[in-house]
Amino acid sequence: MTVRVRIAPSPTGNLHIGTARTAVFNWLFARHHGGKFILRIEDTDLERSRPEYTDNILEGLRWLGLNWDEGPFFQSQRLDLYKGEVQKLLERGLAYRCYTTSEELETLREAQKARGEAPRYDNRHRNLTPEQRAAFEAEGRSSVIRFKIEDEREIVWNDLVRGKMSWRGSDLGGDMVIARASDEGSGQPLYNFVVVVDDIDMQITHVIRGEDHIANTAKQILLYEAMGAKIPEFSHTPLILNMEGRKLSKRDGVTSISDFQKMGFTAEGLVNYMTLLGWSPPDSTQEIFTLESAAKEFGFERVNKAGAKFDWDKLDWLNSQYIHKTPVDKLTDLLIPYWQAAGYKFDGGRERPWLEQLVTLISQSLTRLVDGVAQSQLFFTDTVEFSDEGSTQLKQEGSAAVLEAIVTALENQPQLSEAAAQDIIKQVVKEQKVKKGLVMRSLRAALTGDVHGPDLIQSWLLLNQIGLDKSRLSKAITAVN
């Protein structure tokens, strides 16, 4: 048997972290077994589906490296197939037309509520005679198609994550609507039905999806039986929770993959984190995984039943690991869009070699790519802002004289080298008879506005190359005097 799995997002929003994590597990499972990963866009909800969401979903999956083998298939282009299947169930007496109006259903629900019962359809139109049907049609009532669910049925499956699962037919809300009223004969087919038609048609062997679909699985198993198809394996993956243990939601700030991207997470870091959201590798000390390396180890026996807590610190840590080992040229490519978004201009000597030198300087201190904006700001602006500590440093005794001596030394150095910079510092220490620390701190305060920051000599060289060191030094001297 060739493993065939699918991810089936509905384009009613951007690619959600929960869907993306489900996609990761599907991908890992497919690759582990040398199987196929299929992409199906479930766009039957015409009012809520939008092409821009489809684009966002496809871009997000591609960005994460979750390449698919077949698809994308669009349900909106497969309506004839679904309608044909609805028709077959009608003809075989496994489904029927129900003419109950929404007012009647509401009255039924109210009565059930008053008796303290769960709301369910009472199957009242299951056995209409042709005359009764004709009478409803003559009244101009529209109909939905309902699939018969026997109350006494027990539906059992062996879930790959949750073990033995069992549902009673009586808990499924009565005969289920599989197609909504529409002007055409078989109506507009609905989610639970089309998923099964597609999963059969696409020969899906394992349905891997979020645990919020468990009740759907019970209904869908009955549909597989009705259509005479082999029932796939099911695997319901745990929900993603926030640190308080509640389902991760919009209130937690970010939920879509494009948000995570904007926040400066790398595709590799995020995907690595998602593999660990609910799955624990056989060697629990191993945390760094590419999709390929995780696929070798992946199986549902190590996927937890309990919800997976979203841990920002861990995501940040993993992300920084990837940033720190990204080669400079690639990291520069990754940072450029963030600099552009911040309005930084690549003029006045800020060319590719200079940018790469800047990236080398800051790379090890980045946790998220977006940190590269703040950490390189002083290299993209003409003037620096002084922190309190920076100003205090410039007011230290001897500071102004040190800076003046550096300016003088620089006059003979149009292009500063690392060795020349070191020499100037040594020379000033000697001349001014001061400690090296004072020279270094004053120089840093003058050039960067602060007393902490990246390597001073490298920062100086970068500023020198774009002609900003002398002006900053002079400005600092004026500020002190």
Which are the catalytic amino acids?
250
C-beta of 19: minimal distance to ligand GLU in Å? Answer: 6
| Inter-residue contact 459 to 447 (CB < 8 Å) | yes
What is the rounded CA–CA span in Å between residue 26 and residue 209? Answer: 8
C-beta of 359: minimal distance to ligand GLU in Å? Answer: 39
Nearer to ligand GLU, 227 or 466 (CB): 227
Nearer to ligand GLU, 23 or 331 (CB): 23
| Bridge pairing between strands 176-180 and 188-189 | antiparallel
Nearer to ligand GLU, 48 or 436 (CB): 48
Nearer to ligand GLU, 235 or 376 (CB): 235
C-beta of 95: minimal distance to ligand GLU in Å? Answer: 20
Amino acid letter for position 368: R
C-beta of 5: minimal distance to ligand GLU in Å? Answer: 10
Nearer to ligand GLU, 195 or 480 (CB): 195
Residue ranges binding ligand GLU (CB under 6 A)? 8-10, 42, 195, 209, 213
What is the rounded CA–CA span in Å between residue 459 and residue 366? Answer: 16
C-beta of 463: minimal distance to ligand GLU in Å? Answer: 51
C-beta of 57: minimal distance to ligand GLU in Å? Answer: 10
Nearer to ligand GLU, 8 or 421 (CB): 8
